[in-house]
């Protein structure tokens, strides 16, 4: 977790969600509706792990949305600096 309490992975997941789903529509849906819709989008030959991964993804996106709403953000420059520090080893 970063200095502002934001996990970089959550922001990447949110970006992925924006591409994958209609965020405005999802924000008006209940958790149950979101999960059912996500399961219905998955292929028929999935296993339990695929379902849990999809639900975990939706939960991570909601957590990222809360971080954004609460102002816990990391700028692109801050993130570039962090990534450079992580990858220099």
pLDDT at 23: 53
Q: Percentage of residues in the chain with pLDDT exceeding 90? A: 13
Per the model's pLDDT, the better-predicted residue between 67 and 17 turns out to be 67
Cα distance between residue 23 and residue 34, in whole Å: 11
Question: Considering the domain boundaries, does residue 30 fall inside one?
Answer: yes
Question: Considering the domain boundaries, does residue 89 fall inside one?
Answer: no
How many domains does the chain fold into? 1
Question: Considering the domain boundaries, does residue 3 fall inside one?
Answer: no
Question: Considering the domain boundaries, does residue 1 fall inside one?
Answer: no
Q: Which domain holds residue 74?
A: 8-84
Residue 81 has pLDDT above 90, yes or no: yes
Average pLDDT over residues 65-70: 86
| Token pair in block for residue 40 | 């219905």
| 3-class secondary-structure state, position 67 | helix
Q: Percentage of residues in the chain with pLDDT exceeding 70? A: 69
């Amino acid at each position: 977790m970063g200095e502002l309490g934001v996990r970089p992975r959550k922001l990447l997941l949110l970006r992925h969600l924006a591409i994958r789903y209609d965020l405005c529509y999802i924000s008006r849906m209940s958790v149950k509706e979101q999960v059912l819709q996500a399961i219905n989008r998955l292929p028929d030959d999935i296993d339990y792990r695929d379902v849990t991964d999809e639900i975990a993804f939706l939960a991570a996106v909601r957590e990222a949305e809360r971080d954004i709403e609460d102002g816990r953000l990391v700028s692109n420059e801050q993130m570039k600096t962090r990534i450079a520090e992580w990858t220099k080893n």
